[in-house]
Chains A and B, each alone.
Chain A
Amino acid sequence: MKKILVSLLFLNLLFNLFSYSILEDIDGNYVGNVDSRSASLGNTGVAGGDRLFDVTLNPANLSFLKADIGAQFVFLATKDDDNRSIPMYNFFDGYVDNGTYVSNVNIYDEMALGGYYKYNMSDLGFSAGLFYKPYINFESDYEEQVRNDENSDDDNYPPIIAKNFLTGEGSINSLEINFALSYLENYSLGFVLSKLSGDQELTKNIVWTDMGYYNFAPDDPNDPYETLKDYYSYLDREFEAIQIGLGTVAKINERLKLGLTYKPSIKFDVTGDWKVRSDTLVNENTWALNFETYDIEDIVYCYEGDLVVTDSSATFTVTDSTMLADFKTPTRIKFGLFYQPQNIMLTKFYIDVEYVKWEDVNSFYENEFNYYVGVEHQVNNKIPFRFGFKYETNYYLTHRFIDLYSISFADKITMPTFTIGTGFTFLNNLIFDISAEIGHRRYETLDLFMDSYYSHHSLWSTIEPKDRGWENPDTVEETLLKIKAGLSFNW
């Protein structure tokens, strides 16, 4: 009986801890374009991209590159500033504001490399390129302290009783081969074939501190059911997929180009498992370290459509479900406009609009548009001043658990981004571009590590920590600073 109870306890922990995720630890961060020049122009360039990696935006851009042979290397660094806060109340118990209780700052880096060759034959031009670049990134880091603050009003320093960790590693990378055909250097048709592969390892830990053990120990050191055990879980997934993409660019006149690109939805082949610590009782006082392993196809998400929950104890109707093994990307159709007017500074103006068919990923998602605007001015001595803006909408799952079911909500989160950058040309064929993108997003989600897990009677004398539901969610503010530096060689 005890064994069954323990199993149920861990099963409950399993479901409670697994899916309360930081925003992109499951879905991954879609890298999109990697070119630093385009990044400084609000990630525009479907029509009129000037750099090799602008083929990521539109494979037909390859035809419009000026040199016959070229290569580009890009280094990307992302600083993620993640602040989580909980609601705070005035002395009337009315909500007044949010107080930050955990702040994480992390830096991640990636790289991309590509090369191309162009051959002109009469009115036709043939181009081919080969690229290796990140497609989806799963990196994430999160650390949270759990303190016992019940005596803090007596000027006692609240001791740390546990630390929570989330660590995501891995990425899906894309090996792409790109072909483009142009006619009279005015029209171009491009095709891209990508082999997407990669893996992900997501670790979730709760580690009790010495203070936690120390507080606990005097209670009953010999009772095995009372032992505080660190929590570990590991998710391993491997991804494989092939993607194609099509694009076209038309030079309408000397000032105007239009572009269109299409990338269909893909479904990855996903394999992997999830392990969670589930110690077994060897004898009356002894536990043996053990991990239960679950195939990811056995882990099911159930969906509830409404975003606003009006009652924390409401009963939910499960309306749809999916598995953790399902990993899809949406269809993306992007239209771009490039305009080069007469201006006392050489000026280029870009507008892109992207249609994202989120319905491909989940029936609760709605299709959305993303908007991109960019301007480049050659201010002085061929030094460009670039700036831009992008407005992107993404969908994520936020989770709620009732017993053993995982109920998910489709949450729409928009992120506006301000971009700026410049570039330098050396020896006519070596170009260095650098860009900065500053984006900010704010959303509500449930507590990542529910408080009831720490509600051990020996740790708290008068308080019984309880879970916060949607009636008191976390508010998360994230500032993302992305720096991209690119080096382009042209011959």
Chain B
Amino acid sequence: MKKIITFLIFIVFIFSFLFSEKIDLNQATYGQLIQLPLTSQQIEDIYNYRLYTSFFYSIYQLREIPSIDQKTLNKLKPLVRISHYEEKNEADKRRDEIYYLIQRLGSNEGFQEGMSDIWEDYLITPRNVNKMNYSDILSMPNVSPIDASSILIRKAGGDTLTSYRDLRKTPGISHYGASNLRHYVYYKEKERQNKLFVDYQMKYNDSNYTDEAQEMYKLTRSETLMKIASFWGYFQMDKYSPEIMNKYRIRYDTQWKAGIMFHTRKGEKNFLDKKTTDEFKDAKYFAGYENYLFGENFLKVYVGNFRATYGEGLVMENTDFSGARKTGHGFSKRVTGIIGDISRTQEYALKGTAIEWKNPKFQGAFFFSKDKKDAILYDSNQDGIINDEDDAFSYITLTRRFTDDELEGVESFLGGEGVFTFVPRLDALEEQIMGGHIEYSPFIGTHIGFTGYEAVYDRDIVVPNKSTLLDTFHFVAEGDTDKFELMDNEILAMYSTKTDEYDRNFRRVVGVDWQTVIGNTSFQGEYAELFVNGSQYKIGDDPHALILSSYSQFTDLYILALYRDYDLAFDNPYSTAFYEHEKFDDSVYDKNSHIMNNPLLKDIYTNSERAQAEKGIYFETRYRFNRYFTINRTYLDIWERKADRRKTVRFQGELDFRPIHQLSMRLKYKNQHNRYHDDAERGVSITSETTIKVATNLSARDRISLEYRYNKVKMPPYPYLANDAEIPNDNDTSVVGTTLIHGDYIGADWIHNFNENLKVQGSFIYWDGHGISHWDWEDMEIDFMGEQGNKYWFAIHSKIASNIYIHLKFKVKHYRTKELVWRTWWNSSQEDENDYDEELTYFDTVEKKENTIRLQIDWKF
């Protein structure tokens, strides 16, 4: 009887499950789950798995839970079901899809300061490709003018793009362009999301000052044997201090946008130590509206900080960050138009109002900015003090923005009144800019545009002539004036608002840009003039600059040719057009900063992102022979520096060999020959660099690569490499010829993806530069390495949730400094036994060690 009752109970139990509704594992409450024939631990494990690991997409996922064995799974199969249920919203899902692209944008931030935010917004809320105009499509990463033109021509024929597959069928579009564009667009009209997006980003970075900055701050004007007699010692810059950035962005759908960014440079007071008013004074912020109105008319309005870019960047592209060989194509894309700006750009930031309107035929923009700029002032009235009565000498982008009180303190301590005749001052030059751009596009792929601006200043900018600069104001130390050489003509050619010929309070730059696409080739260019002493309405009688380029695109090949010609006196602070060398390269700011009146002037060069006056032609190509061989980005540049007419040729080529998908080998060669036209000239130098890199792609995007680099420089002798006339025993001076320095570098990189949410990266590098500096592209930044040393770093990229990312990097770098070499050399020649100070500061070896941490947290909702 007992057995029968037990059997009946069992039957009832089983039937109650079989005929009752199955439990949905994705939506069941804890109370529902405990109805399952499982232990309390198993139920809790299932519940926690769904809550903290993943929703169920298959019943077999239950086996991922350690407490659920196959037997239990078999028992559960008839009792449960899996519904298609997720709690994620559209934006979170989209972020999951494109996480790897967001990571990639972040890692390229160094090249495209501020642009990754814009592209990320497009990734999260793509735009309808069928409604985008030419400049919209062209603004997307790695999309060429031919790609943009192809899409618009197809649309103009009445066609509509319906899918990525459809996009790829567009005649003339490149595979590369289409595959990049697909992430930023959709094809059918979607309902407005009317969603609020908020992005927060914090970046902490305690990397050391660059070698150039250290050299600048350690320079002293007095021979004192006192550390405190340098900027470095006075401000205790050996102390640890990080760079911190906090950025907040908010947008409502794609129309309303706003943002604010607080940035503390290394060494500066952070937000806890600053007054709130000062914190907001230095902050960057914007609010903007952009939307289609009346059909295809697109309107943008921005207040606060904004960025304006037009043409080839000759007239207007306001940024503190740029780089050599910015062609406007491929990875060095120039996004034209007005955008809100909360990048780290500080000196060339525009603050005011900007409005832009465009339709397929016409485009117009007007902008107004009023902002105070950091500037170099000098004692122009020679009254012994530098104040509001004095003229400005130049804009300056400062590595560390010392306050005026700090600067006055150190100037007084180091030299006293009248010793520093050139000083940087914060917000010393009020600049009021009015500018605009109009553009007409008669047919698809072709436009002509006009850009111009006028900057009005509240004080004169006057660059004295050479004799006044050197003899009256002692721009360089007395006795060193012969080191102010031909290339320093760049300094003398800077723009003045007041000269013997005119007296005004403005700078005015105008230009014309154009582009046309014919077949698979686009032709573009820009011509700009800085109004100095010519006629306002006559072309060619003022300092001018010209860029002409063509870009031809084939299936496996592209060819870019670019010609540029910039006048020495074309001094436009808002130009970041193509250049090989940045402005003031090789000038006294660069090579002889120790003789300048104020070491901080060196920042004019080290943070210069403007083109040096040069004239030359540049060719670039990429050609994929077949699946095994590819000539990667390869270029040849032949140009002449205007200041001293130095002619240079530079070549770089990359050959990739990929015998199987998992293995790639790269051979890279670079050669630069300075002053190739005149062997007898002192400045002749030849630099060559050969790199071999082998990379293996393992499973799950894991990767290991090895790199070896060898480089050498043949150049004129430097005092610390060969005996020179300053050796105490003058009679011992030997005859020296060309110096050869050579160094090498070996590195190994490793990437391991634990899964799609956790990536670990590491690298070890050893280098021996012998005076040659190497550079290394770390995961999110470039590191320059001089002399000899080794370093290793370790980075963790973690996606904590769909909307929280963290990136943490730890780096250790050991190296020797160059100063050590000549210090040792000098002491070994020291014969004056009574010079005790020298003896007391003698060192045999000096090794430096840097530990740096970089942290980035992104929170998006």
Contacts and interface: CB of A to CB of B under 8 A. Distances in A.
Given A152-B839, A341-B804, A477-B849, A379 B758 contact: yes
A95 interface: yes
A369 B226 contact: no
Contacts of B802: 341
A373 interface: yes
Interface string B36-62: 000000000000000111110000000
Interface residues of A, number: 74
Given A94-B219, A379-B758, A99 B229 contact: no
Interface majority SS (helix, strand, loop, mixed), chain B: mixed
A88 interface: yes
Contact of A344 (B241, B755, B846, B847): B755
Given A310-B413, A346-B52, A153 B839 contact: yes
B236 A307 contact: yes
Interface stretch (B442-450, B684-692, B820-828): B820-828
A284 B282 CA distance: 72
B853 A346 contact: no
A462 B839 CA distance: 11
Interface majority SS (helix, strand, loop, mixed), chain A: strand
B227 A471 contact: yes
B52 A87 contact: no
Contacts of B849: 83, 477, 479
B855 A373 contact: yes
Interface residues of B, number: 76
Nearest to A309: B228
B53 A344 contact: yes
Contacts of A456: none
A1 interface: no
Contacts of B242: 391, 414, 416
Contacts of B784: none
Nearest to B754: A379
B234 interface: yes
B238 A475 contact: yes
B232 interface: yes
A220 interface: no
A95 B52 contact: no
Given A93-B225, A95-B227, A153-B827, A345 B833 contact: no
B834 interface: yes
Interface string B810-834: 1000000101101100111010011
B846 A369 contact: no
A345 B801 contact: no
A479 B819 contact: no
A56 B467 CA distance: 70
B840 A463 contact: yes
Interface string A374-409: 010101101001011101000000000000000000
Contact of B798 (A308, A375, A391, A472): A375
Contacts of A388: 808
Nearest to A460: B836
Contacts of B409: 310
Given A95-B232, A416-B240, A440-B240, A472 B226 contact: yes
B806 A375 contact: yes
Contact of A95 (B230, B235, B857): B230
A441 B238 CA distance: 10
Contacts of A98: 238, 846
B223 to A, nearest CB: 4
Contacts of B52: 340-343, 346-347
A414 B241 contact: yes
B206 interface: yes
A68 to B, nearest CB: 16
A442 B51 contact: no
B808 A387 contact: yes
Chain B CB within 10 Å — which of A90, A340, A369 has the most?
Answer: A90
Contacts of A345: 53, 754-755, 757-758
A413 B51 contact: no
Contacts of A185: none
Interface string A347-376: 101000000000000000010110001010
A100 B272 contact: no
Contacts of B55: 342
B194 interface: no
Contacts of B857: 373
B189 interface: no
A91 interface: yes
Contacts of B747: none
Nearest to B833: A462
Contacts of A97: 218, 817, 819-820, 846, 848
Contacts of B718: none
A149 interface: yes
B755 A418 contact: no
A389 B758 contact: no
Contact of A349 (B804, B819, B834): B804
Contacts of A375: 798, 800, 806
Nearest to A96: B819
A90 B53 contact: no
Given A342-B52, A471-B227, A369 B817 contact: no
Interface string B131-148: 000000000000000000
Contacts of A312: 228
Contacts of A87: 227, 233, 841
A472 B228 contact: yes
B643 to A, nearest CB: 28
A266 interface: no
A415 interface: yes
Contacts of A292: none
B66 interface: yes
Nearest to B232: A95
Given A93-B225, A443-B240, A342 B51 contact: yes
User: Ordered nearest first, which 7 A-B pairs have the shortest CB separation?
Assistant: A341-B801, A440-B851, A99-B843, A87-B227, A93-B223, A418-B810, A96-B819
Given A416-B240, A444-B238, A472-B225, 13 more contacts: A88-B846, A89-B225, A89-B837, A90-B823, A93-B224, A344-B757, A349-B804, A368-B272, A373-B857, A387-B796, A391-B242, A415-B240, A471-B226
28 contacts: A91-B822, A95-B218, A95-B226, A96-B819, A97-B218, A97-B819, A97-B848, A149-B839, A153-B827, A153-B842, A308-B236, A310-B413, A340-B52, A347-B52, A366-B273, A389-B808, A389-B855, A391-B242, A414-B240, A414-B242, A418-B808, A438-B851, A443-B238, A443-B239, A443-B240, A462-B834, A463-B836, A477-B849
Interface of B: 51-55, 66, 87, 204, 206, 218-220, 223-230, 232-236, 238-242, 272-273, 409, 413, 594, 754-758, 796, 798-802, 804, 806, 808, 810, 817, 819-820, 822-823, 826-828, 830, 833-834, 836-837, 839-843, 846-849, 851, 853, 855, 857
